[in-house]
């Protein structure tokens, strides 16, 4: 098994493992060329043995962790995270999904990899707190942050992370129901490179928040406002007038929108590849928008 000498992706998942298919070209890469290693062996014994090997062989070194994906459903997931946090120091991506996250291990993992981290994905990690998110202040080159479902995180912590990470291109705050117009204004004012913003079910966001988005986030290509049921046709007017690079717009569950918004979108944003409304009563015809 080749070990990359550059950077790695570590994934700890509580979901069922999937077999990872690799192209022949990928299999032929030598140790120096390989950037990502993937595990495909579903054996629990094999899985645990590899973690034991990390702890034993890398204990006295600064070698980067050579494993890219650890997808085994196991009661030892938190211990695996602790091991990774002790021995990985050049990670580009951290994906911790649907699991209880040890705060000390996460802090250590972020600190050791702050210079190289580009992606932090904490989807479904409901125990994540504001203090955990504030660890990301160290990651000044972060490009993608996924806090989908991290509903215990207060807005102030997200704001601190946003201000410290101006290179963010993708931000997912779906189901972070504390998000409000004030936080959206912080996001709009500090993330000029943002291409994707997901604030689905951030139901405190109103037309004022969307106004801030459309005034300052002019590079947006993907915007999800589904279930933000405070927004009205005024928000759509601003989106159509200002977000000319938009390719994907999701508005499902925005109950205050009318047919006028649908018409405005169809006529004013020809570059859109996807519009999600899912409300037949708002469509001017029975056809799909």
Superfamily of domain 118-282: Ribonuclease Inhibitor (3.80.10.10)
Q: How far apart are CA 67 and CA 65, in angstroms?
A: 6
- At 36-70, the pLDDT tens digits run 222 222 333 433 333 344 443 333 333 334 333 33
Ordered by start, the domain boundaries in the chain are 118-282
Q: In 3-state terms, what secondary structure has residue 234?
A: helix
- At 1-25, the pLDDT tens digits run 443 334 444 444 434 333 334 344 4
Count of C-beta atoms within a 10 Å radius of residue 167: 15
Instruction: Give the pLDDT mean for 261-283.
Output: 87
| Contact by Cβ (8 Å): 216, 185 | no
| Contact by Cβ (8 Å): 208, 230 | no
pLDDT value, residue 264:
97
Query: Which phi and psi (to 5°) does residue 207 adopt?
Result: -55, -30
- Which residue is associated with the tokens 């000044």? 140
Question: Which of 60, 118, 71 lies closest to 98 in space, CA to CA?
Answer: 71
C-alpha distances (whole Å) from 195 to each of 88, 170, 191 are 29, 6, 9
| Contact by Cβ (8 Å): 175, 225 | no
Q: How far apart are CA 261 and CA 257, in angstroms?
A: 6
By percentage, how much of the chain surpasses pLDDT 70? 70
* b/e burial code for range 78-102 (CB count within 10 A of at least 16 → b): eebbbbbbbbbbbbbbbbbbebebb
Weakest mean pLDDT among 38-47, 128-137, 166-175, 237-246? 38-47
The tokens for 76 are: 């030892």
C-alpha distances (whole Å) from 48 to each of 70, 102, 144 are 10, 19, 30
pTM of the model as a whole: 0.78
The tokens for 160 are: 């601190």
**Degrees, nearest 5: CA angle 267-272-274:** 115
């Amino acid at each position: 098994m080749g070990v990359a000498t550059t950077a790695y992706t570590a994934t700890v998942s509580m979901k069922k493992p999937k077999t990872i298919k690799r192209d022949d070209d990928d299999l032929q890469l030598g140790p120096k060329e390989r950037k990502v290693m993937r595990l495909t062996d579903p054996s629990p014994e094999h899985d645990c043995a590899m973690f034991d090997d990390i702890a034993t062989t890398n204990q006295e070194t600064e070698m980067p962790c050579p494993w890219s994906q650890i997808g085994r459903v196991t009661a030892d997931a938190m211990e695996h995270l602790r091991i990774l946090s002790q021995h990985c120091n050049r990670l580009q991506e951290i994906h911790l999904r649907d699991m209880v996250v040890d705060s000390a291990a996460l802090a250590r993992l972020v600190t050791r990899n702050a210079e190289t981290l580009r992606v932090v994905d904490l989807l479904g990690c409901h125990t994540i707190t504001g203090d955990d998110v504030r660890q990301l202040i160290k990651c000044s080159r972060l490009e993608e942050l996924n806090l989908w479902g991290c509903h215990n995180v207060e807005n102030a912590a997200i704001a601190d992370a946003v201000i410290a990470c101006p290179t963010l291109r993708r931000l997912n705050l779906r189901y972070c129901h504390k998000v409000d117009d004030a936080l959206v204004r912080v996001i709009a004012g500090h993330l000029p490179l943002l291409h994707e913003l997901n604030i689905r079910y951030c139901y405190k966001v109103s037309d004022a928040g969307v106004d801030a988005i459309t005034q300052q986030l002019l590079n947006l290509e993907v915007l999800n406002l589904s279930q933000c049921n405070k927004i009205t046709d005024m928000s759509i007017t601003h989106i159509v007038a200002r977000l000319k690079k938009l390719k994907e717009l999701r508005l499902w569950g925005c109950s205050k929108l009318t047919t006028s918004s649908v018409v405005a979108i169809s006529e004013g944003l020809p570059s859109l590849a996807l519009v999600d409304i899912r409300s037949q009563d708002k469509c001017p015809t029975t056809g799909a928008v």
